[in-house]
Structure formats: C-alpha cells, structure tokens
Structure 1
C-alpha cells in the first residue's frame, strides 16, 4: 500500500532554496569582483534572503508538519536578524539609555527563547519513553555539545546569559544544525554532496546536453537570434553556464537574472526551451514562460533585463512570433496542470469511501430485549 508523506513545502526544490537562503556561505557560486560597495550590497542581499527564508518557514509552521530543525534554524536566524547591533551605540539622555537597556534585554530574551526551544525540542524527540535519561545523556547520544545543554539550563532557570555568549552560541547552533540536518538533504535523495545548488539546477546541468543535441546548428543560428561561433569547447562551456543559471532562476533565485542577461539572446532562449521541456513542474514552467516573455519584449537584448530598460517604440519585434511562442508555452503549462489534476482525481477514486450502509446506525430495541451492560464492557 502506498504511504503518502505530507510536507509543508511544495517540493524538495523549495526546501533546498530555503537552505541556500539560510546558509549562503555553504554554496559556492560565481564570485563577483568589486570593492567595499559590492561587499555591502552582497551583505544586504544575504540579509534579505534570510528574511525571506524566515517568512517562508513561518508559513510552513502554520501549515503543520515542519521539521524541528527547520523551525529552529528560522528562530535562531530571526534572533540574529533582530540583533542589528546599532541599538547599543546610540547617544542620548536618560530616556535613550532606558530604551537601549530595554532593547538589549529583549534581544537577549529572543536569543534565549530560540536557543532553548532548539535544544529542548531536539532532546525531547530523542528521549527514551520507557527509560528516562538526563538531557546530558541524550545530548551525548545525538552528538550535541554539553555546553548547549548548560546554556539552555541557564537561560531557562537562571539569569539570562550575556549577549556576547548568546550571539556566539546562536552561530554555533546554526553550524551544528547544518552538519546534523541540512548538509544531508541531497545525499539522502541521491543528489551528491550538500554544498551544491538547487535540485532543478543540478538535474539540468547533469544532463550533458550539447549544443547540437538542442537543435543549434554549427553556423550558430539559434531560436530567436544568432550566436557567433567561438569553438565547440567554448560554446559547450557557455551553454553549461547558462543552463546552471537558468536552473537556479527556475529554483527561485531572482538575483541571477542579471547574470543571464549577459549572454546572447539565441543561446538563452535555446537553453531555456530545452530546460522547460525537461521539467514537469508547473511552477518552474510558469517562471520559464515569464522569462521568455521578458526577453522577447526587450527586443532581443537580454542584457537589459538587469537594467530594467524597455525597448523604444520602433524596436524590431515580431509580434506574431512572440504570441505564438507564449501560446505554446502556456499550453504546455496547462497540460501539466491538467495531468496533475487527473492524477489527484484518480487517487481520490482509488480510496475506499465508506458508504452510508457501512456506517453504524441507531437501532430501536424493544424494552424486554435490551440488556444494560456496565461501562467498559464490549
């Protein structure tokens, strides 16, 4: 009999996107060259991605069935995001001093609550129901440092720990959760190590489809534009880069759109058509259709996606071909959604529905036929 596992996320790719947002330092992507301003922009982008991840996990918690490690990661990250550090450097009078003290106490409480919930929930889930063990013994069995148990005890029963100690403990806890839970996600599902990108990006880059197999002629003519011939090895390398970027975009990384725009329109459209044809995920297909429409509406200049510019009124655009391309893409999306609905209907029909005749009903007994029974006796 088939057993269904209900998860709060749509698919494994969505879970891996959240993991990448929580731990950007564990995912090796192309490094950008830049100065201090570029570094500041990267930090702001990472902060924004973490806030999105916290919000998404909060939604998963409302749905139910969210793993404790995912919830703990979100709580610890939220505590770190709330601790911006600026509140301790404000200048002012007595009122500002009281506000700083109150803010510092609130941040310590947020750290303590998140850390205590992480440790308590983890150890309780591994507690032996028949033979109770101490928290230190349970922590030793799962590989949790004893200092985590000590800090949890202090935060729960004693005075709140110092902010310096809580900050260090929160970051160590996130590192421990990565090694205990997040790093093994792809390995458990047969997709290699835990330091890669999303599932769709990995599956697409691992297909090994060359330019010739995707319908690109040797002279460089592609779908919707022309590509200069730069040698077979260079073209294959360029195609692999585009395929990886498109896979990351379809996994939910909107920030790679600017990198996609640096490649030729024909190559991008050709790879995008191949990518959209290799997945049956309706959400990914919708993103592929939206990106195709955006490239075509920009008049064959995908590098302007990042700048947000639009073509002039006289730009050369084949409106009919654009409409035909979008129509075919939307038809493919509708076919996928229709197949999913048919699968759901078939599964519902396969379930044995209890009929009204099978349900127990009230029966009227004659007074002389009815014999009372003590409570608890069948």
Structure 2
C-alpha cells in the first residue's frame, strides 16, 4: 500500500532553498533580506499545516534575532527571545514523550542529545525571572546551530535524487564547519555522491571563493577526495606546490589538477636488470629497483 507524506513545501528543492536562506553567511550582501524571506516562507508553511516543529523553531528563533536591533524595547526583545526559545525546547521534548508514562524533560533531552542548560533556561524563562538579554542572545544562536546539526544537515544525504545544487549547499556547510568531529561525520556522508559529482561541485564552488583561506580549504578537500584515503592533508604535505599566497595561484593549481584527471598520463615501467658482477646479487637477495613488470612463466601450446 502506497503511503503519502503531505508537506507544506512543493518539493525538496524549495525546502533546501529555505535552509540555505536561513543559514546564509553574514558576509553575504543580502544577509538579512534572505533570512527575512525565509521566515516569511516558513510562516506560509505553518498556515498550510504539517510543518515540522524544527523548521518552525528555526524560523521563530531567526525572527527574534532579526528583530534584535537598536530602537526596539529591550523588554520586547527579551520576551521575543524567551518565547521562541521556550517554544523550541517545549515542542521538541513533548513530541518525544513516552505515551505510556510521563518522562521528565531532562531525561528526554538526554536521549535527544539536547544540552541540559536548554531545559534550565526554558524553565527560567517560563516560571522565574526573565533571563538577561545577553544570555538569551547566546542561547538562541546556539539553538540554531543545534537544530542544524540535528535536523537540517541530514536532509539531502539519503535523497538519491539530490540535485547538484543540493550537493553545493552541503559542501559549502562542510567547508565552513570548524568542529573537527562534525566535519569528519559530514565527510563520511560524501560516499552518497560519486567522485565526479564531488569534483564538479568543488570546481563550481572554486569560482565563488572570495578569499585565499576559503579557496585553500577547497583545494585540501579536493586532494582528499582524489586520494580516496579520507585523511586530511597536512600543511607539510602541501609543499612546495600547494603553499601559495594568492587566489590566482590556487586556481591555477586546481585547474591543473583537474586537467591531469581528465587526461591521465600512463608511465611505461622500465625493467631494471641486475648485473652479474653486482655484489648485491651474490648473496641471492637484493632490493628490487623500479616498477614491477610481470614475466610469463610459460606459454600455452
């Protein structure tokens, strides 16, 4: 029997586009406008129904941050932060409650990996004195990062029909990730795409790189994918050809690597013969030099 899943968005591409807008980079020219557009889109999804709680929570937390501007009352800003944060924690934990018996919020939070400080801050904002503005600001931004790791980052991984745009979004988040453990987990999920797809996406991201540091991260990831060993490239491994100082040199290097992949050169191995007068051959053992070339042991008549 076919089971249908009703979603408020038209297709997966629309959901991923909203994800990219909600987590857009502060350096983007349309940073605030894209986030406001995403919040408006999520509000439409909420009216349609069946909108996941974490999608709604991301939007209301982002809306509270966008309204934290000079000129607004401090009490209003604190109330907006406290309301959005409390709704995020309460809705998440209630949706994972045991139907047979009531569990404490701390035990449910521990199961989900939600920090206990989130539950404490939610209790303070609901039943005690309103937390300070600085505490609410920090907690809201950390909550957005937690939602990303728990929900948003996994959206396009198991989707066989993931588009090249989805892959670029995922790689962009991977390159921006600073936590070594999280980056390793994200790199392990790259097996869902072929090496050609990954290299094509990295070449397109290379054109978007605005600084040498971002471009160097792209080069390192490209080398890791081409090596296929899953090990990070160290700084000494990049010398001397990878230790460059400008974006132009980095781009030239990556272009050369891609050309070598497209047109590989096959070296003809040379057989090294040992001289009968060689002292190393007298003992019966010697270090073989050069590439190994197989020799036939017989012929078929």
Q: Cα distance, 1:109 vs. partner?
A: 0.4
Distance 2:98 2:52 in 1: 19
2:178 maps to which residue? none
Number of residue pairs the alignment of both structures matches? 182
Q: Cα distance, 1:24 vs. partner?
A: 2.1
2:61 maps to which residue? 76
Is 1:46 matched with 2:31?
A: yes
State how 1:180-329 maps to structure 2 within 5 Å: 180-190=150-160, 191=162, 196-197=168-169, 241=204
CA contact (8 A) 1:68 1:122 kept: yes
Distance 1:241 1:176 in 2: 28
Distance 1:195 1:159 in 2: 45
2:273 maps to which residue? none
Distance 2:167 2:144 in 1: 15
CA contact (8 A) 2:21 2:35 kept: yes
Q: Cα distance, 1:196 vs. partner?
A: 3.2
Is 1:162 matched with 2:147?
A: no
Find the partner of 1:113 among 40, 64, 83.
83
CA contact (8 A) 1:20 1:197 kept: yes
Distance 2:196 2:103 in 1: 52
Distance 1:67 1:14 in 2: 15
CA contact (8 A) 1:7 1:66 kept: yes
Distance 1:166 1:197 in 2: 29
Q: Which protein has greater RCO, CA pairs closer than 8 Å, 6+ apart?
A: 1
1:373 maps to which residue? none
CA contact (8 A) 1:183 1:195 kept: no
Distance 2:157 2:13 in 1: 14
Q: Runs of 5+ in structure 2 lacking a partner?
A: 171-192, 209-301
TM-score normalised over the length of structure 1: 0.44
Is 1:21 matched with 2:21?
A: yes
Is 1:137 matched with 2:107?
A: yes
Moved over 3 A (4+): 205-209
Is 1:151 matched with 2:121?
A: yes
Is 1:122 matched with 2:125?
A: no
Cα RMSD (Å):
3.2
2:50 maps to which residue? 65
Q: Cα distance, 1:197 vs. partner?
A: 2.3
Distance 1:170 1:207 in 2: 37
CA contact (8 A) 2:21 2:38 kept: yes
Deviation per CA, 1:278-302: give whole Å up to 9, x if none: xxxxxxxxxxxxxxxxxxxxxxxxx
